[in-house]
Structure 1
Amino acid sequence: MRQEAGLALSLRHLLILLTAIGLLPLALLGGWSIHGAARYLEQEQERLMIGHARALSSAVDAELDGTVAALSGIAKSPALAGGDMRAFYETARRLARPDWLGVVLTDADGNPIFRTMAPFGAPAARIADPDSLHQAREQRRPIAGRVARGQGGRAAVPVRIPVNGPDGQPWVLTAAVQPDRFLDVIARQKVPPDSVIGVLDSGGNMVARSRDQERTVAGSPSASLAALMRSAGPESVGPTTALEGDRLISAYTTSPRYGWVVAVGAPGAGFGVGLFQRYAVYLAGALVSLGACFALASWLSNRIVRRIRSVQAGAAALGSGDSVRVAPSRIKEIRQMGMALEAAAAQRAAHEDERSRLLGAREEALDAARQAARAKDDFLAMLGHELRNPLSPIQTSLDLMDLRDEPGSQRERAIMRRQVSHLRRLVDDLLDVSRIASGKLAVDPRPLNLADTVRHAVAARAGEPVTLEAPPEVWIDGDETRLSQVLGNLLSNAARFGSSATSVVLDVVDGQARIKVADNGAGMAPDLLARVFEPFYQAPQPLARRTGGLGLGLAIVREIVTLHGGRVAAFSDGPGAGSRFEVLLPLGAAVASAAPDSAPGADAARSILLVDDNEDAASATALLLRHLGHSVRVAHSAAAARALAQEAPAAVAILDIGLPDMDGYALAGALREDMRRRARRDAARGPQMDAAADGGAGALRLVALTGYGQQSDVARALAAGFDVHLTKPATLEALRRALAAAPG
């Protein structure tokens, strides 16, 4: 961009000039204001400190007056007037305040009659501060004496009042008040931590001090405070140095009644009010100065603003993608910004090209990631199918041996059944965690009596030490299959980790259904407890991996519970202390239990067509079904199945999906179509066959028995006309339920 030649003025220089114009009168006004404010604040601080000292002096006088009043009350005892000194001793001892060391009664010659600090009749002790005793006796008025330490080393202040003895002699009643009483007076004043307050008796000795009371009591004040009090009269303010060496501004006042002195010392910086007022005065001057600066500098600011607006227009053009043009300027910084905007416009075009290229690469990477995810899902589906296929004949053979009740292999069958169940659970967990990762895991919530679901899940753990506590009904909106999976995973977890006594409790807490599964197994350390619901996470194990598993069961539990709008938590007191899992689910509305449909028994004889290209699976399943009393024909391909169905119709067709010549979905449709054609041919032979033509197509019950067990596989099977979808390896009970609704 072409710029005007000539002198270029620096924006900094312009701003300095503008600031100098405004700050010169501001600095003069500020200096004058601060000086005046400082003097005003010094005077105000002195007044406040004198007021504080007077208030404290009044509080000390009130405390001494209270002591005098208490002594006067004791002196009104009839025992004193009657001359019963022992009774008066007991009265004085009983009525003495807790903060007094004791009460002393002296006669007209100053000799002690008794001291409540000692037993009545004890030998007389030395009188502390005899001058105040003589003064009280002679002047016949209350006197606050000087602080002193007695024979026991304890400090006390004698507060004396004149009293009349039995014969009217001028006796004196004294209370030995502990100095801590006056320290309490100081504490009630809420002294700032950096201030020092001292109470001195009429002799100038320290009675109470807000700092270091024990060391300074009965001692002298600092030399600087003593000099100030000697030179300035009964009340004044001045600089002092504390006993600790702190430099203070101290104010003191003298009580006209007792002659005691209260001194208040504060740091020279004041109480914080001065700083605020100083800034307030300074701010007022600054505002006046700024007003003058605005008038003087307006023409400079207008010049700068016009050039800045030109730069703003160039920046807006840069943002919108238009060409950038900045008006020429003599200000160097603005001229440099204009050149920078033009350079940025050129870079923007280059960046747009680069961004387009990166976006294209990003889309390609996303497509590759989607393809990888689909490949992973396809692989897991195929893995599940291939693993379930060999498990199916194993489980079917075990069911057949159980039905035959061969006692010689009972223990071996139990071991094999546990391992088959373990393998099936591993496959299910792998597929479920894949659905969780892709967001495809879904639930089908319906009104459900959770109590029945819990009872069925516990009943399925036959042979394991599981106890159950549950009410008859707890209704929720839930997916029975998935919630059964939750309970199964929690119970399997307890069994794997060595529980010899597992309890399941179902109750209702705070409007939610709660399932508690507690065991006495291995327990969990705090670090494991924090990560127990993470997929694939397991506690450190030896190479033998005694507990087994993939670390997916609890992660699946959490996802299923979350999909139901609930939450799950794990608890343990540590390794070896067992574990407890709690599942909370929202309650739902109860529904009336439907009457069971009338159906023939599960084991009523059926004619069954079994189609599976896995000959071992087909053979084992056929043997099992025949053992249950059914008539079974076996085919290993779709063509063979259709031929057998043409020869003799079956009531039930159990079909594998992955057949070599036609998949099970197509075979299901073909079998139903073959049945319809046969029904129409039979109907054409005579009127007596019309009913068969109308209803024959619906007489065949189709059951899918396959290794494909994802939700989409179930939906596809039902859409293809199957009545039931069973995932290999199917249990004996599942087979019985699938055959229960078929016509005999």
Structure 2
Amino acid sequence: MPSPRSRTLPLRHLLVLLTAIGLLPLALLGIWSIHVASEYRQREQERALLDMARALSSAVDAELDSSVAALSSMAQSPAMVAGDVRAFYDIASAQAKAQPEWLGVFLADHEGKTVFRTNAPFGAEAPALADPDSLQQALSLHRAVVGRIVRGKGGRAAVPVRIPVTDTHGHAFVLSAVVKPDRILRVIERQRAPADSLIAVIDASGHIVARSKNQERFVTQPITPALRALMTRNGLEGAGATLTKEGDEVATAYSSMSRYGWTVVTNTPMAALRAGFLEGIAVYAAGVAISLAICIALAYWLSNRIVGAFNGLRRAAAALGAGRPVHVPKARIRELGRMGRALEAAGRQRARREQERSSLMASLEQALEQAREASQAKDEFLAVLGHELRNPLSPIVASLDLMDMRDEPGARRERAIMRRQVTHLKRLVDDLLDVSRIASGKLQLELRPLNLAETVRHAVAALPGHAITLEAPDAVWILGDDSRLVQVLNNLLSNAARFGSSATHIELAADAAAGLARLSVRDNGIGMDAGLLSRIFEPFYQAPQQLARRTGGLGLGLAIVRKIVELHGGSVSANSEGPARGSRFEVALPLAAAQAQQRDATPAAEQQPCAILLVDDNEDAANGTASLLRQLGHKVEVAYNAAQALAAARSVLAGGLSTELPTQLPTEVPRVAILDIGLPDMDGYALALLLRRQYGAGLRLVALSGYGQQADLERAVQAGFDLHLTKPATLDDLLRALGPTAAPASH
């Protein structure tokens, strides 16, 4: 059996005992005093609230009058009087910008149709009016009208202030200003009302315009049924008990004396009124003093223990909040003892959670670091992959160009096969690197006015061996990147050829009504079913193929097409009537204003022989490219590293030529250095800086590298290169590299 010292008591019993001992003698006197004081205080409070509502009603009318006055002044402008709506639009736009509380100015005709709105270009199609009733009211009453508060399409609340206007020709209009409720809200804020009171302004339809609390939450909402019943019962002014939107019971006063039919509502919590019992304390202060003396003697011993127990809980709660161990002294009150044990359990649980959180954060940081390292490794791998795949392609392409120049009849078929396969392999590498740029958001366009019809014709002309028909007007102007749009068309044509098309038809048209240029590529290939159409533009997704994969590809071409078109602000779609019924791809791009057709440049004369320094550590690539350039009549010195290049430069670039060269060139011949970047002893950027410093601006520097990322191109420009070519370089690329001018762009 527990000892008397360890016995615990419920807190409820202690509080009841303390209350009964201290307050029982004063109960009857206190009830009567509180009743008298609260009734008096309520009457006085309702009178003060009604006075405030009347004053605020006048202030709200003044704010609305200022908006009406501003509109009236605007309506007296000469442009409006003369009926020059276009000129008046500029005046209204300027006035709307000068009014920070105005969202815009509207002008409507006598039929209620919007003539213009200042927050849209003149002549733009206007949406339906949000409050047509107030507009008709302004026309019929021939006076200023304030409409009901509504939210626009953008979600912003506003009140239309409307005045009727008639020009010198007798045409009737309604000029409206869309006013934010902030202006009325500031009127409320200037009143410096008590923090527990609530002030609201209601429009003529019974919807909230401004509210001193929770403005954004309740603006435009209807008033509560309790307030509406009070206004119906009392007329234009009155007071009584209502409920707020938050569900609080309040004493309310209102005034509906506004010229615009608006109502101002003020209220204060009923709880504050009930606190009026304090005014009757003096009546029964003597009784409280007598009772207090008895209560102090009897409750002193109990209060010490209660306060001590609560202090122990307070210290435990502070320790829990600070993350320190929680220790609660044993309490003789049962409920406090349970609370102390709960706090200790919460402290232990918090410690476990903090430990788990620290462990989780460490794991998360480690995972993020691994992801960053993996992303960096992926980028480096792709750059090296592109370089290593392009390097062996370079001597193959150079050799094919040499064979094409010699044009041996017996090897034409084999050359064509090799050319197709090399082109296919190069496209696979480019697609793989392009999709990496797309995934990292690094794919950039150089937009300029472009005749899409010319771009399409040139792209088709570059594919003489394909069965392609073209239907296009003379000019279709867009803002576009010529090389990227050629890539789009080549990918679509390659896709058609790989999937069995023997007759591909290209159609280009300008849809002026929709403001779009529409480019369609239709083939008679194997077609697609609905399931394939829904996924055709996903990266790495391909149509089901046989194990032999005769169509080849990585499934990236159409994904790249979609991204390039979207970066142009357009869209691409695919459709097919089913398997074996062909496919049709349509690209839609925004039209641009037609540009003056530039004259074609005068055809250049046959290219002048150049003195060329060719540097590449891939001997096959260097020798093949050198043979190709020599076949074109140029004088070429080959070096396989930077040291050989600097030695060879003294002979081929300094005005003379190597003794190994068969003929001597004049000293004014162009001088060109074609440099690989990845050299064994010195990178091509450093070599370019040395050559530029030694031979000046007269030396044309061309980078020829397997690295073709955007960062590589920018670094080449910074190193002083005039042009950047990505391996494998075609014959056209090499001829462009030897041209008289250069831009710091890449191939």
Give 1:512's aligned residue.
516
2:469: which partner in 1?
A: 467
Partner of 1:673: 693
Farther off after superposition, 349-358 or 408-417: 349-358
Letter in 1 for 2:688: A
Q: Which of 3, 8, 18 is matched with 1:5 structurally?
A: 8
- Structure 1 counterpart of 2:559: 555
Structure-1 residue corresponding to 2:430: 428
The structure having more radius of gyration, on CA atoms, is 1
CA separation of 1:466 and 1:346: change in aligned 2, threshold 3 A: same
Is the Cα contact below 8 Å between 1:9 and 1:330 reproduced in 2? no
Give, in whole Å, the separation in 2 of the partners of 1:465 and 1:422.
18
Q: Which residue does 2:677 correspond to in 1?
A: 657
The aligned residue for residue 417 of structure 2 is 415
TM-score by length of 1: 0.53
- Give 3-state SS (helix, strand or coil) of 1:531's partner: coil
Confirm or deny: 8 A CA contact 1:602 1:737 kept in the other structure: no
Corresponding residue of 1:31 = none
- 1:542 & 1:405 partners in 2: Cα distance? 37
**Structure 1 residue 7: deviation in Å?**
4.3
SS of the residue 1:464 aligns to: coil
Q: Secondary structure at the match of 2:538?
A: coil
**How much has 1:342 moved relative to structure 2?**
4.3
Within the candidate set 623, 626, 629, 1:622 is matched to: 626
- Rounded to whole Å, the distance in 2 between the matches of 1:601 and 1:629 is 14
Q: Aligned with 2:357: secondary structure?
A: helix
Letter in 1 for 2:619: E
Q: Which runs of 5+ in 1 are unaligned?
A: 11-290, 299-309, 676-696
- For 1:737, the equivalent position in structure 2 comes to 736
Instruction: Confirm or deny that 1:570 pairs with 2:594.
Output: no
Residue-pair matches, total:
428
Change (3 A) 1:399 1:339: same
* Alpha-carbon contact 2:453-2:473 (below 8 Å) kept: yes
Q: What pairs up with 1:227-238 in 2 under 5 angstroms?
A: none
After superposition, where does 1:642-653 map in structure 2 within 5 Å? 642-649=646-653, 651-653=671-673
SS in 1 for 2:392: helix
Compared with structure 1, are the counterparts of its residues 559 and 403 closer, same or farther at alpha carbon in structure 2 (3 Å cutoff)?
same
* Secondary structure of 2:738's aligned partner: helix
In 1, are the aligned partners of 2:319 and 2:326 still within 8 Å (CA)?
yes
Shift of 1:451: 2.0
The aligned residue for residue 717 of structure 1 is 716
Return closer, same or farther for 1:597/1:352 CA change in 2, 3 Å cut-off.
farther
Q: State whether structure 2 residue 639 is matched by structure 1 residue 635.
A: yes
Per-residue CA distance 1:350-371 (angstroms, 9 max, x = gap) = 3223323322232222112111
Counterparts of 1:483 and 1:335 in 2: how far apart (Å)? 78
**1:407 Cα deviation (Å)?**
1.3
User: Which residue of structure 1 lines up, in the alignment, with residue 698 of structure 2?
Assistant: 699
Match of 1:367 in 2: 369
**Per-residue displacement from partner, 1:562-602 (whole Å, max 9, x unpaired)?**
22222211111111111111112222344334556678546
Task: Output the CA distance in 2 between the equivalents of 1:313 and 1:468.
Answer: 86
2:602 matches 1:582: no
- After superposition, the C-alpha distances for 1:408-435 in whole angstroms (9 at most, x for unaligned) are 1111110000000011011111111222
Tell me how far apart the structure 2 counterparts of residues 532 and 589 of structure 1 sit (CA, whole Å): 33
Change (3 A) 1:338 1:503: farther
The partner residue of 1:610 within 610, 614, 619 is 614
In structure 1, the residue matched to 2:226 is: none
Give the ranges of 4+ consecutive aligned residues of structure 1 lying more than 4 Å apart after TM superposition.
7-10, 310-339, 593-600
Measure, in 2, the Cα distance between the counterparts of 1:634 and 1:610.
Answer: 5
Counterpart-to-counterpart distance in 2, 1:332 and 1:589:
85
Given the superposition, is the C-alpha separation of residues 602 and 477 from structure 1 closer, same or farther in structure 2, using an over 3 Å criterion? farther
- Residues 522-563 of structure 1, C-alpha deviation per residue, up to 9 Å, x if partnerless? 111111111111111112211111111111111111122222
Give the Å deviation of 1:315: 9.1
Shift of 1:331: 11
The whole-number CA distance in structure 2 between the counterparts of 1:502 and 1:422 is 19
- Partner AA of 2:727 in structure 1: K
Distance 1:441 1:319, change over 3 A: farther
Deviations 1:688-707 (A, max 9, x none): xxxxxxxxx21111111111
User: Are 2:351 and 1:349 equivalent residues in the alignment?
Assistant: yes
Post-superposition Cα deviations, 1:365-405, rounded to whole Å, max 9, x if no partner, equal 21121111111111111111111111111111111111122
**Aligned-CA RMSD value:** 3.6
* SS, match of residue 586 in structure 2: strand
Distance 1:389 1:475 in 2: 38
- Contact 1:385–1:706 (Cα < 8 Å) also in 2: yes
**Separation in 1, partners of 2:716, 2:487:** 22
Distance 2:464 2:313 in 1: 82
Asked if structure 2 preserves the Cα contact closer than 8 Å seen for 1:466 and 1:502, the reply is: yes
Give the alignment of 1:375-390 within 5 angstroms.
375-390=377-392
What is the rounded CA distance, in whole Å, between the counterparts of 1:573 and 1:327 in structure 2? 82
Give the letter aligned to residue 360 of structure 1: A
Offset of residue 344 of structure 1 = 2.5
Q: What is the CA–CA distance in structure 1 between the aligned matches of 2:638 and 2:469, rounded to whole Å? A: 43
In 1, the alpha carbon distance for the partners of 2:471 and 2:341 equals 81
Percent of aligned positions that are identical: 64
In 2 relative to 1, CA 545–312 (structure 1 residues): closer, same or farther, beyond 3 Å? Answer: farther
Mark the runs of 5 or more structure 2 residues left unpaired by the alignment: 1-5, 14-248, 250-270, 275-311, 654-669, 743-747
1-structure distance, mates of 2:675, 2:603: 23
Structure 1 distance, partners of 2:629, 2:580, is: 46
Deviation at 1:742, TM superposition (A): 5.7
- Using the alignment, how far apart are the partners of 1:662 and 1:740 within structure 2? 27
Change (3 A) 1:336 1:713: same
Counterparts of residues 308-327 of structure 1 (less than 5 Å): none
Cα distance 1:576–1:354, how it changes in 2: closer, same or farther (>3 A)?
Answer: same
Q: What amino acid is the match of 1:356? A: S
Q: What letter is aligned with 1:642?
A: L
1:674-689 aligned within 5 A = 674-675=694-695
Distance, in Å, in 2 between the alignment partners of 1:344 and 1:359 is: 22
- 1:455 is paired with a residue whose SS is helix
- Once the two structures are superposed, what CA deviation does each residue of 1:205-224 show, in whole Å capped at 9, x if it has no partner? xxxxxxxxxxxxxxxxxxxx
2:532 to 528, 531, 535: 528
Q: Secondary structure at the match of 1:539?
A: coil
What is the identity, as a one-letter code, of the residue corresponding to 1:412?
E
Q: 1:315 to 1:528 in 2, by over 3 A?
A: farther
Q: Is the 8 A contact 1:603 1:629 kept in 2?
A: no
Q: Is the 8 A contact 1:703 1:725 kept in 2?
A: yes
1:395 is aligned to 397
